[in-house]
Structure 1
């Protein structure tokens, strides 16, 4: 068995995976029986050289690892895919773009592998014309938004005016329609600016209108500063005759008692707040017997009991609320 030809014939049909081989060698080492002959034999059946087996053993001793060290998977961002689409799928152009942007840039071969992997997984490379058109539309929408919010300035700073329309009856929207400036009650605009009814605002208006038609419920959510409250105010600036709108602010550290008081105060009911919950609920239910939109701002802060209280108002047989 000392001859290479004979040894090759013996090991020709043997193949052992790294975890199995390393585990067996470690067992021999723990028993004090490991020799270089075992390592040479392991290299033969593992299909690697002897130095690789010694490295495997060292990794198992120091790191407890018997598998290959996992390599970080290269993920391409949506922006990178957009650049790739603009370049017609030219990976080299993407590589040049990443180098110009600075930072850690993967090799061209790694980029090719990542693109090929994602394409084989089902990702579709956008058409250059489609990407260009979408970018131009986005730029146009942004330009329109900038123009809509650009007002006259004094000393380089826009003059901000809080619009306060005359109050109407309790619970109704102050001002039934937007004036010449597009003003909506409760929405502050820079002087001379106008509100723009974008597609998102129209979608909110349609959802609110459908909910009012069925006396349902609507949840409007999104990142801070995206204009949720302004969109709702625009949607409710012109409600059908007979409808009223009441905005209920969520109290700090809301509880059922605090929520009941917030609804009572928002409805501007006559008299002092009742000393029992039954009397308060009766007064609130009576006020909500007319068609009314109840808007709860910052509802994400409400715990479950407060949500259940609002649901009880909605489920009450005598109330007509959205």
Structure 2
């Protein structure tokens, strides 16, 4: 039992108290610690757990199921000839409604296919290396029933990557997105968990009753995704750790947000349980042309050197900035199809996307 508890005497003690029933009294926590130390000093080791092989098999199966589909290559159409920035691009303005209407064009995936992801009209979620790395990290956590920490600066696409990974969870696993206010109280966190797990009935008035219902629901395999986890106070993170440590739960915990790694590091007990740390980096400049061409039809007729200039001057590898810039440029070209997409127009759109630096 101590081996199943990961070697944690405190978790073992809580489990013994919860399952004692009418049996013999449970020894105190201090007594358990003393017995364990005595046995370890005498040379006794934890019973070898026969979970390594099963864990590796679960990990391989989870990673296989979470592997994101590659781009379709057998239906690739001829790419439009690049048009340098500075010339009229009425053809690009015409391409946007065509893509939305489902007319033939270069396939870039399924626009808006990932639930919970808002994209400009005609855009698609791009399966970048970062998206695949996040899916792999979630797969490792699911396979080992552990904790994953996904972090990186704002706007890099962490939430989108997690949404894509959650959409491909293996059969038998379900993702619950825990939505909480900034710096929630424990009561607000319990209520958010109650709603995320879809528990029926009214939220209990007593915290003990709510905890019982939450733990009972987590007896089934769940992947709890806590976005913006860096805004959580330490007591809430400790509460989530308690749910994870409970021997009656089968929960995989995914903590995501800019700065989450620093908040988790402030709790060594929680940080030691993280089985996968995954940073979402900025989009490399070398990958900008291909990625943006797959992201939206607007960028397919723009030469690679101009796309790299846009990224260096404005987006700086941020998917959120590229998405906002796409929306602004799309609106301009739909309202004025003969507008020239030159650097003057782009500089004006840069000012709409963000404040001057």
> TM-score band (shorter)?
0.3 to 0.5
- Greater CA radius of gyration, 1 or 2? 1
**Higher RCO, 1 vs 2 (CA within 8 Å, ≥6 residues apart):** 2
TM norm structure 2? 0.40
